[in-house]
C-alpha cells in the first residue's frame, strides 16, 4: 500500500473521528477514562526518566564547563535550556509514543480482530469517533501537564545531582536556571507537545483501526504505530523548530 493510500485513509478516518459525537455525555466519560489510562498511568515512567535525565545533563554540563572562563551558573542554564527545549517536549514524547502509542494500537487492533468494532458499527455507533476521539482529546489535555511535570522534575533532578556531586553550588544552579529566560520558548515547547500528542494518538489509532488478521497483525500494527509516530514526531519537531527559531 503506498503513501497516498495511507494518507487518504488517515484523513477519511480523521473526518469520521471529528464528526459530531452521538452522545456527548458518553464521550466525556470516555475522555476522563482515557486521561487516566493515557496520562496518569504514564506518571511514574516520566518522573523516573526526567529526574535521571536532569541529573545526567547537569553532570555532563559540569564536565564540559570545567574551564575557569565559563561561570558555574552556566550548568543550571544549560540544564534548563536542554530540558525545556528538547528533552521534555521531544524525548519524553518519543517515550510516550512507545508506551501510549503501542497501547492504543494494540487495544484498537485487538478490538478490530475480535469484531468489537464491527459490533459498534452494527449498533449504529460511529466507532472511529467513539474509540479515537476521546484518546486524542485526552492526550491533548493531559500531555502538557505531563511535560510540565517532566520539566520541573528534570530541573529538580539536575539541581539535586549538581549539588550532591559538588558540580556547582545551590545558588549558582538556581541563578543559572533563571538566567536569560525567554518565555516564548515555553510557548514553543508546549506547541510541540500538543502537536506530538495529536500525532501519537491519531497515528497509533490509525494503525490499530486498520488491523486485519490475528494476533500477529496486532503486534505488527503496534510496532508500526511506534515507528511512524516517532518519525513524525521528529519530522514535525524539525518543522516547528524551524518556524519558531527562524525569526
Partner 1 sequence: MIEIKNINKTFGDRHIIKDISFKFYQGKTNLIIGESGCGKTTLLKLMVGLHAADTGEILYHNKNFPALDNKGKQEIRTKIGMLFQGGALFDSLTLEENVQFPLDMFTHLSKTEKAERVNYCLDKVQLSGKNKLYPSELSGGMKKRAALARAIANSPDYLFCDEPNSGLDPKTSIVIDNLIQDITRELNITTVIITHDMNSVMEIGDNVMFIHKGENWWTGDKTEILNTKNAELFDFVFASEFIKKVYKKNAS
Sort residue 179 into left (φ over 0), alpha (ψ -120 to 50) or beta.
beta
Task: Report the alpha-carbon distance of residue 161 to residue 19 in Å, rounded.
Answer: 49
User: Which DSSP letter does residue 214 get?
Assistant: S
Q: Tell which positions 66-125 bind partner 1, by CB under 8 A.
A: 110-111, 114-116, 118-119, 121-125
- Smallest gap from residue 22 Cβ to partner 1 (A): 6
Q: Enter the C-alpha cell of residue 164.
A: 550532591
**Which CB sits closer to partner 1, 3 or 123?**
123
Task: Report the alpha-carbon distance of residue 197 to residue 136 in Å, rounded.
Answer: 7
- Smallest gap from residue 117 Cβ to partner 1 (A): 9
- Smallest gap from residue 122 Cβ to partner 1 (A): 5
Of residues 125, 102, 46, 76, the one with CA closest to residue 228: 102
- Smallest gap from residue 28 Cβ to partner 1 (A): 12
Report the residue from 15, 22, 24, 170 that binds partner 1 according to the rule CB under 8 A: 22
Report the residue from 7, 12, 26, 70 that binds partner 1 according to the rule CB under 8 A: 26
| Region from 1-9, 19-27, 160-168, 208-216 binding partner 1, contact rule CB under 8 A | 19-27
Please count the residues of this chain forming the interface with partner 1, following the rule CB under 8 A.
15
User: Which DSSP letter does residue 149 get?
Assistant: H
State yes or no: residue 23 binds partner 1 (CB under 8 A).
yes
Of residues 22, 207, 38, 47, the one with CA closest to residue 138: 38
Q: Tell which positions 143-202 bind partner 1, by CB under 8 A.
A: none
- Smallest gap from residue 116 Cβ to partner 1 (A): 5
**What are the CA-CA distances from residue 133 to residues 13, 202, 229, 239, 244 (Å)?**
11, 9, 17, 25, 29
User: Which DSSP letter does residue 67 get?
Assistant: S
Of residues 124, 108, 141, the one with CA closest to residue 225: 108
**Which CB sits closer to partner 1, 126 or 191?**
126
Q: Which residues make up the interface to partner 1 (CB under 8 A)?
A: 22-23, 26, 110-111, 114-116, 118-119, 121-125
Amino acid at each position: 500500500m503506498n503513501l497516498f493510500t495511507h494518507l487518504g485513509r488517515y484523513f477519511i478516518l480523521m473526518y469520521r473521528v471529528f464528526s459530531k459525537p452521538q452522545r456527548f455525555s458518553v464521550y466525556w466519560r470516555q475522555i476522563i477514562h482515557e486521561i487516566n489510562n493515557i496520562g496518569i498511568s504514564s506518571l511514574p515512567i516520566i518522573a523516573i526518566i526526567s529526574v535521571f535525565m536532569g541529573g545526567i545533563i547537569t553532570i555532563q554540563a559540569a564536565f564540559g564547563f570545567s574551564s575557569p572562563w565559563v561561570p558555574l551558573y552556566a550548568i543550571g542554564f544549560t540544564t534548563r535550556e536542554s530540558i525545556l527545549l528538547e528533552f521534555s517536549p521531544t524525548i519524553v514524547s518519543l517515550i510516550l509514543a512507545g508506551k501510549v502509542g503501542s497501547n492504543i494500537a494494540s487495544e484498537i487492533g485487538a478490538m478490530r480482530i475480535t469484531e468489537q468494532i464491527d459490533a459498534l458499527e452494527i449498533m449504529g455507533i460511529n466507532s472511529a469517533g467513539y474509540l479515537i476521539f476521546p484518546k486524542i482529546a485526552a492526550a491533548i489535555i493531559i500531555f502538557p501537564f505531563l511535560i510540565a511535570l517532566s520539566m520541573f522534575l528534570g530541573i529538580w533532578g539536575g539541581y539535586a545531582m549538581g549539588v550532591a556531586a559538588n558540580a556547582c553550588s545551590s545558588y549558582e544552579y538556581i541563578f543559572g536556571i533563571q538566567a536569560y529566560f525567554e518565555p516564548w520558548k515555553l510557548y514553543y515547547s508546549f506547541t510541540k507537545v500538543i502537536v506530538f500528542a495529536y500525532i501519537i494518538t491519531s497515528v497509533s489509532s490509525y494503525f490499530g483501526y486498520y488491523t486485519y488478521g490475528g494476533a500477529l497483525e496486532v503486534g505488527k500494527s503496534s510496532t508500526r504505530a511506534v515507528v511512524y509516530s516517532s518519525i513524525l514526531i521528529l519530522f514535525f519537531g524539525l518543522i516547528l523548530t524551524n518556524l519558531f527559531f527562524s525569526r
